[in-house]
Amino acid sequence: MRFPGKGYILILVAFVACGGCASPDRIVLLPNADGSPSAVIVKTASGERVIDKPYEAVSVNRSGDISRDKETPDTVRARFGSALDAQPQRAATYVLYYLNGKVIMTPESRAIVKKLKDDLKTRSAPEIIVVGHTDLVGSDEYNDELSLERAKDVQEILIATGVPADLITISGRGKRDPAVKTADGVPEPKNRRVEISIR
Amino acid sequence: MSSVKMKAIAGLIMTFAIAAAYADDDAGLVKKVKGDATIQRGERRIPARPGEKLLVSDRVMTGADGSVGITLHDGTLLSAGPNSTLILNKFEFNRTTNQGALDATLKRGTLAVVSGKLSKSSPDAVHYRTPTSILGVRGTEFLLEAGGN
């Protein structure tokens, strides 16, 4: 049996709820993988809103009106499952340590190279990003050069063990990004390192 | 110098200029693809395949069964679901200083974002857009849906 009257009301309700426009845009904050706090600031023609808790969401209609919303892992899955499944594998980072003022790897660090090569096999269109660092002894120029030399050293070792050269990108960040914060001029073994990120 | 030689040299300089411009535009790499996914680059349409480069100004499009996952050079992960159009308006990343800028628009569909180094080192230069909104990011993972028309 059909109820044309009821169908008519349903259409009317749908029209009112949507305001006669296309479906709204939606922004959802997810928890950070490392659990650190985060936020997204949403600006539109008619206002601004900050979402800063996991699964907080806003929807924005065509006129820029923002309304608060709440998602759950299940609703996120239903709406964004395909996008989340397409996410590239996350980067893994390996750290190799170097002797003071030198481009010589510590003996323990050599073992990591094998682990790294196994990881490489699991990835689609892999990239290897090699970034050299130094401790805070010496000038910026000296450390920029030394950090790059360390990165080149790792590059050569990787190529020698059969990693295709065109996958590798190297750079040196000098003393800009110490793993352990120290005053300038302080020798620190943990800062004399090369970080290899595979993604 | 003969005009032929001049032309050859001018051509060579042009070639270098273009090569340099392409290197600057290089923004990332396609990592994962399912179903129908293409990159529109100027007049050209390139199938999105793992290992394909993403350049500044590229438009990434997925069909009804498509999805695509991209890693940008600062480590940002962008992945779009079906029926999506994503445009990379701007991408700059200095590997020594980690400074730069990122600007991307989701015209329609769905997008998952895991922020990379730029959102830490240049947070005010990282923007995502939908047809109605501009988003600023503070070190985050988030999702976007653009309702479309």
Determine the 3-state secondary structure of A14 from DSSP: helix
Q: Which residues of A touch B141 (CB under 8 A)?
A: 29-33, 38
Same domain as A96, residue A194: yes
- The yes-or-no verdict on residue B86 having pLDDT over 50 is yes
A104 with A133, same domain?
yes
- Nearest residue of A to residue B75, measured between CA atoms: A91
A 93-122: CB under 8 A from B: none
Query: Is B34 in contact with A86 (Cβ distance < 8 A)?
Result: yes
Give exposure, A125-148, as e/b (b: 16+ Cβ within 10 Å). bbbbbbbbbbbbbbeeeebbbbbb
Tell me which of A1-10, A62-71, A176-185, B94-103 is least confident. Answer: A1-10
A29 within some domain:
yes
Q: Do residue B77 and residue A22 have CB atoms under 8 angstroms apart?
A: no
pLDDT exceeds 60 at position A140: yes
Contacts of A64 in chain B (CB under 8 A): 132-133
Q: What angle do CA B65, B67, B61 make, to 5 degrees?
A: 90
Helix (H, G, I), strand (E, B) or coil at A180: coil
pTM of the shown model:
0.82
Comparing CB atoms, the residue among A43, A85, A127 nearest residue B133 is A43
Burial A162-197 (b: 16+ CB within 10 A, else e): ebeeebbebbbbbbeebeeeeeeeeebeebbbbbbe
| Chain B, nearest residue to A198 by Cα | B75
pLDDT over 70 for what percent of chain B? 83
Cβ neighbours of residue B93 under 8 Å, at least 6 residues apart?
B72, B73, B74, B99, B100, B102, B117, B118
CA distance B43 to chain A (A): 26
Restricting to B residues 41-100, those with a Cβ less than 8 Å away from any Cβ of A are 50-51, 67-71, 75, 77, 79-82, 84, 95-98
Confidence of residue A63 (pLDDT cuts 50, 70, 90): very high
Same-domain check for residues A114 and A74: no
Task: Point out the domain boundary residue: A37, A65, A85.
Answer: A85
In this structure, the number of other CB atoms found within 10 A of the CB of residue A15 comes to 10
Contact B85, B60 (CB under 8 A): yes
Check if CATH label 2.30.29 holds for domain B28-146.
Answer: no
**A145 found inside a domain:** yes
Question: Which of A85, A104, A122 lies at the terminal end of a domain, its last residue?
Answer: A85
- CA angle A28-A32-A35, nearest 5°? 135
A121 and A150 share a domain?
yes
**β-bridge mates for residue A170, sequence order:** A130
Residues of A in contact with B34 (CB under 8 A): 82, 85-86
Residue contact B81–A38, C-beta within 8 A? no
**Confidence at residue A50, expressed as pLDDT on a 0 to 100 scale:** 97
In a domain, A155, yes or no: yes
d(CA A176, CA A134): 8
Is there a single domain that holds both residue A144 and residue A191?
A: yes
User: Is residue B54 within 8 Å of B10, Cβ to Cβ?
Assistant: no
For residue A17, pLDDT beyond 80: no
Say if residue A118 is in the same domain as residue A192: yes
Poorest-pLDDT segment among A46-50, A107-111, A131-135, A145-149: A107-111
Q: Which structural domain, as residue segments, surrounds residue A28?
A: 19-85
Tally the domains of chain A.
2
Residue at which a domain ends, from A54, A85, A116: A85
Nearest to B37 by CA among B60, B59, B14: B60
Q: Using the beta-carbon criterion (under 8 Å), do A82 and B111 form an inter-chain contact?
A: no
Question: Using CB atoms within 10 A of its CB, is residue B33 exposed (0-12), middle (13-18) or buried (19+)?
Answer: buried
Which SS3 state, helix, strand or coil, does residue B84 take?
A: coil
In terms of Cα–Cα distance, which of B77, B125, B120, B93 is closest to B24? B93
Q: Are residues A79 and A115 in the same domain?
A: no
- pLDDT of A104 above 90: no
Q: Which two tokens stand for residue B61?
A: 């499009």
Per the domain annotation, does A1 fall within a domain? no
Separation of alpha carbons B40 and B86, rounded Å:
10
Q: What is the pLDDT of residue A22?
A: 67
On whether both A161 and A188 belong to a single domain, the answer is yes
Same domain, A38 and A107: no
- Note whether A84 contacts B: Cβ–Cβ < 8 A: yes
Q: What are residue B141's phi and psi, to 5 degrees?
A: -110, 130
Q: Is the pLDDT confidence value at B37 over 90?
A: yes
Whether residues A96 and A184 fall in one domain = yes
Q: Per-domain residue ranges for chain B?
A: 28-146
Q: Which of A41, A125, A127 sits opposite B135 (nearest CB)?
A: A41
Cross-chain residue pair B140–A32, CB shorter than 8 Å? yes
The arithmetic mean of pLDDT across residues B44-52, rounded, is 96
ipTM over 0.90: no
Query: Does residue A193 share a domain with residue A117?
Result: yes
Report how far apart the first and last C-alpha atoms of chain B are (Å, whole number): 60
> What CATH number is attached to the domain comprising A158?
3.30.1330.60
CB contact under 8 A, A61 and B142: no
